[in-house]
């Protein structure tokens, strides 16, 4: 049976006297640092000196210092910088200041699981992974609730690794919504699969194909955009709130019958076989090697050619005009 925790199961006392060094102040770093501080925990922020986030973190009331200095002072080093720079920052600034009994904490397990970071055996290695963007982590905390997290301990040197993990999860508000125990392996492989097969890759490709099908059949692009992209959020919101069957019960009878009978024609067994290939290439390290190689060659430009293709696609050209109509004050 899956192991879960709620807020009442956890005490902050075991980490009340420990200093948590938040490394990075991006979307997750900002949210988690502020939530932890508001929960009464000791927080410092380690950043690149002179970086764009330095003044923001200071203005938010944090004690801000270099990454190296934060790692010297912190008992728990919570690494919340982008995946692809973690290895270099670790080698240059974290590892030289990592002493026995400290904890390395992450919100995504890739760096440890794939060996981008080779951590010593004399520290705790833990993970608290909120299942939502940083903006949601902060918003739900301020609303008195939280964003659920999955949690794991990869290495328990001190015998206190779970106290540290659960304390951070409670401090950022996640335990209010609920925590689920996982492993570093499970988190990485399922996270990458979801991004590639469903949440980002699969859903975006499905929308583009549906749009092209209607436009190629002679329908107005603007109408196609409304039907296959704009309304998708309404359905996803219902699925998230009520489950798949709950969504079916809340759409029209025609939509229910048509979707239940035609959906499997669109997403069929062949699609599932392709999903299995995606998962296998994650599990066997093929995607990791490909991504590292591409990033080493091209850095953040690694996906530019794909983005440029989509920028010129009709769905994006039409979409810009439609979004201006619906949200005139928005900027893209």
Binding residues for NADP(+): 25-28, 48, 53, 134
Task: Please tell me the distance from the alpha carbon of residue 238 to that of residue 251, in angstroms, as a whole number.
Answer: 10
Q: Given the DSSP bridges, would you call strands 42-47 and 63-66 parallel, antiparallel or unpaired? A: parallel
Dihedral angle, C-alpha 180, 183, 189, 191, nearest 10 °: 30
Q: How far is CA 238 from the centre of its chain?
A: 21
Residue 23's H or E segment, with its range, is strand 19-23
- What single-letter DSSP state applies at residue 75? S
* Active-site residue (options: 62, 78, 108, 313): 108
Residue 62 annotated among the catalytic residues of the structure:
no
* SS3 call for 151: strand
Going from the C-alpha of 224 to that of each of 150, 237, 264, 265, 314, the distances in angstroms are: 38, 20, 21, 20, 11
Task: Please tell me the distance from the alpha carbon of residue 227 to that of residue 200, in angstroms, as a whole number.
Answer: 19
Tell the residue number behind the tokens 């692009």, with chain if given.
Answer: 221
Task: Please tell me the distance from the alpha carbon of residue 49 to that of residue 206, in angstroms, as a whole number.
Answer: 43
Enzyme catalytic residues: 108
């Amino acid at each position: 049976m899956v192991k879960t925790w709620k807020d009442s199961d956890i005490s902050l006392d075991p980490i009340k006297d420990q200093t948590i060094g938040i490394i990075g102040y991006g979307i997750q770093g900002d949210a988690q640092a502020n939530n932890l501080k508001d929960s009464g925990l000791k927080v410092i922020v380690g950043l690149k000196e002179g970086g764009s986030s330095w003044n923001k973190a200071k203005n938010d009331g944090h004690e801000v210092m270099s990454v190296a200095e934060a790692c010297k002072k912190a008992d728990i080093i919570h690494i919340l910088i982008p995946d692809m720079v973690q290895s270099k920052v670790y080698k240059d600034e974290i590892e030289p200041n990592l002493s026995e009994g400290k904890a390395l904490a992450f919100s995504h397990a890739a760096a440890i699981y794939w060996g981008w970071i080779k951590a010593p055996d004399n520290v705790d290695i833990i993970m608290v992974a909120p299942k939502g963007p940083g903006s949601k982590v902060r918003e739900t905390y301020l609303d008195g609730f939280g964003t659920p997290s999955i949690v794991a301990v990869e290495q328990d040197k001190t015998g206190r690794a779970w106290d540290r993990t659960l304390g951070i999860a409670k401090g950022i508000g996640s335990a209010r919504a609920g925590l689920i125990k996982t492993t570093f392996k499970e988190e990485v492989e399922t996270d990458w699969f979801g991004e590639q097969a469903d949440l980002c890759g699969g859903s975006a490709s499905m929308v583009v194909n549906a749009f092209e099908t209607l436009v190629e059949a002679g329908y107005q692009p603007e109408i196609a955009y409304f039907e296959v992209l704009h309304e998708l959020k309404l359905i996803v919101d219902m699925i998230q709130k009520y489950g798949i069957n709950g969504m079916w019960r809340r759409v029209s009878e025609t939509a229910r019958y048509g979707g239940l009978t035609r959906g499997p024609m669109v997403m069929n067994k062949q699609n599932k076989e392709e999903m299995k290939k995606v998962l296998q290439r994650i599990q066997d390290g093929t995607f990791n090697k490909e991504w590292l190689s591409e990033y080493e060659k091209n850095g953040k430009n690694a996906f530019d050619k794909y983005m440029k293709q989509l920028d010129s696609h009709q769905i994006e050209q039409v979409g810009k005009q439609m979004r201006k109509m619906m949200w005139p004050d928005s900027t893209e």
